[in-house]
Structure 1
């Protein structure tokens, strides 16, 4: 979804990770919850939760570099060095088909004692599927040591920011013909972990390695280690390589500040800090060069290439140099672990200090307080364990309310018409002493009272969208109905405390029998949903129809006509007859209309409008933008087909004008998106719905957001080289002047980074936040009227909510500068 970084990352004391956008209907269980193939040790998990410095350690150095029991001794020494310097070691490896972050002493012994086992795997990124998902010929699970690349992947998944190791892989000599380039380099280009090593192994092509890292966008520097001026990038066994280092780093504090700044900007690449071997252990450059040339000749004759090349060459160098290289090897690894731990400690302090500063200016969240619900609008839960959640929220303070003109004082640009609800989250708590007495029950018992932590928050799709737009900086008015009850009063108070206008909120009379919408979730002790109850009848039940109709005429329509907002957002909680009235009113004032489908069942209400309000097609389409997830898109497509909308002549005229070949555009769609989405039919369904909805943003969870839209005839994007890759088709039947169709723009916004699973607190409101932020920016229009200009920022806003206890993260105020 996101390609460019932004300062929203500084809203968490830990680095922000790859954007993981959850659709509002799909439960996406994350790897943070220990699974059958991924385990984070309790010590490491607790350390990460407490923001203590954790240092990742690889295992190929033990499984493929040192014999047993020397490797076990080295592993023990390195772990001790981390602890001695104030950190927590996280030794990473594959044991019995399970990826472990934080191997215990017994587990480490089991792994390294099998170092000579021919089945012992060397695990890089490409190998995880095989190592964790398959078995050997005897049906046994695999074991493996993780390389730098493999360790980076698992460290990043766990949330570890610093990794200390021996030597970095690189571009092999003669790579112009062999194409032998270490996966370590590409991993550094896409995984934001800081790697401390002694530079490249000297038998590699160091200048080309540095050039490759530059191309990958990897920050590279070398510790000065007391030296002044420029220094060489080290060559593993020797302090000097003859190749100047791109940057020089004075000390561990400066390294920590570099990492911190890198993460605050949300950059997706890693960092490599080279630490020269201690001077007393540095070998002669001439001696090592002679040994390397001899080892390379032997490797060539033996045909050792690819993954086999490095261990073969290292063994030959050991034979040539005797124990000198072995002693140097151990000394440099220990030096890197010492320095890496000091960097991690300094980084942890930086993050903790920044967190304290933010908490000092944290605004009160009033009714929408910490502990908001952990469920989607459809009642699907997101699993969150207490250890995965920060004990205190650390938002960036929003601008003071006095600097933001109230929507009561001017005509708002955005109207949001939809549901406003009170959400109650009831999290079962194990009674004191329960586990000690043998009670391991994690779920509430039936037919009795259970101890719980109950939190209350404002919710409802319309309410969430409006709140997100308001926090981003839009002038917004929420139009919704509440009952004359305690929940209704709480909702009004909550809006007022958030400095949001209540002019559009209508309190329906008690005699109408209307009740404020409420959603109650009962969760187990892990905050997984056990059961949920929803009362949303106030907007769409048959009994409420007369009251809602009168309220529309007397309360909402006059406000809409007087304010003439540029943008109107509708959610699908309205009954079809009320949706029709809102659509007509929005069209009458020429507002840009967005539609949030809410759920699979409610998404189809657009196709049940009264006959005199049937959906028109482009260029007269009433709805300009819809934001379904993939399931809602499928439901909308199926409903349109079953209702005969694809049999209409006006629909076919627009489809024909899009320029899609009669044989279909499967190849073009796969190039614009990916084969998986095409196999699911998502791009195809989007295109067939375009005549009724000229722009569709489909939320695809971990796969990103797919924007499909009709470009009008004459649009400059149709002939621009910058946009050529996104043009799926162009009108070729000569109807540009009559129908105004220029072509189809299709663009998949991939997630630039997966949010660490332990940072995911609740998926409730994530999709609503996306739409609210998107519309807020479009209404301001500083980047023009092109939707694609605003998708990435909307997703950044969604990520903040993904990592928030609330259905809309209050830290969205930090993004106000964008609009």
Structure 2
């Protein structure tokens, strides 16, 4: 199951205003899949626009419906937003569809059982593992669940003609009262009663806890009538540009309001000429539906009416329908872009009468000093609970036990920055570039960073929560379990990161795996083009492969002498994970011609294998025979994995826990001076291998024995700083 990894708002029922979290959805095994592109866009604060699929399944004939859906996605992309077409496939909600899935919904001749899904149909459709096209109401629900703030469609459902007697009212109106999404449409469907629909929405606005703002998009406040720009009904509000519309959504978000907004965009003027004749056909089709009994057949009514209107207008209504859909997709994309920009802007906390003006920090007045080392990634508050010695470890995982709780500064990037700061004489040479929340934990991080004499001008305040890692360790300091809330780092905008890097132009940029693949990719591309060395800290087994998309992107455009990544510091498990995933689809990096070209230059032969077997027989530590020897280098394939990754990562610092550190390096002819230094090291040390390759290529493999440690507080933070500190010192 794929679930978006930040907390997400659920649509709120009228009587029960509970909010679901991702943990709740995951615990319940919710049948909801978010497409990787959408998940990445949401995680990195890119604008996203939801699109429905009822127009695909029940609105247009095949293949017009399929082509139109692709066109709408392209229009959304043209604005800088990411389209999220929503539907149900085989009983699973899909936030974002592949082309094959979209065609499956579109071709009803091959898939006649596909259903039209409103709120009432969601559970039955999923339970029966059917395919479904989501109506406006269902799309609103799923967009809100995913955290999507803008939804573009054709026409909103409303009060059907005669609804004052039949009480036939679309679920779309109810969903707008409980889903915080901006709905961009061309008004309500032309087959409905526009006046009573607006009256219904207005009546909701009189209630304290419900209400939907209805605004027109343009200079006029006259509500559009779907095929025509004029309905004769006025609304209280209008906006005439994407920014103004986005401000409405942003204000409701700031105030924590749960309802949506209806943004009514009139059909483009060039398509209004035929609007009157189309409306006459609409009226005729409605009369016919009442006469033949179709008007009483529930959700079959709308598809029948639309088909009949196409017949009566000779297809003209179809062209107008396409035009208004494309128009709302364009406007929706533009609004989403402006909304996301507003979210990225720094905010000022709400003030109270007792608030006093604060003196500006002196850092604004300090002269700018460029940093030589920039470290990008996570800063966090670590809350560590440790059981007392003698506690039953089995009991500790199921109940409370006596112990201690400590709060310290953490986060992979922050730990690296502190370690570097402690060993480098100039305090201004190290810049920690990390997002923090505008909250108590964020202020604590900022204050403590300054108190250590570290730079704080790279701490970027955002609207999200400061990262917190809550860990539970046993009496010996070994991690038992924990929860890491690091969504703010994954959402760190690459634009902000690159702005700081361009300003400082550091000699080396280190970054951790908490960043999104998109931000990592931007950092790698910038550093490679500027000749800046990079250092990747994998962070965890799961996040260690976040570097692979960037490596894949650079392979076809790299200098064989310079790997895409300069340094990386995986542990043994992370090394194995990177190696395994790199060999598999969709990356298959070791089938790339550039990898073969570099490996061929390495020319590792019998002498290297002999030296490696000799090294494997060495004791891990001459002072502690209980640690055994270095046979794991061969038996577990550590040396082989490291060497095969060197075309992608020039130098690997492999953390082996209590077995020490393995360094694997690739030196080309341009590194001749450094290579000579390592050859001298090889002559002095029996723990170093230097293999001679072709055209000046050299491979270095060296083991550094573990240093004796008297006390380990915990094993989670101690590994972040050591390789980076060693790198600074060499």
TM-score, normalised to structure 2, is 0.49
Higher relative contact order (CA 8 A, sep 6+): 1
TM-score, normalised to structure 1, is 0.44
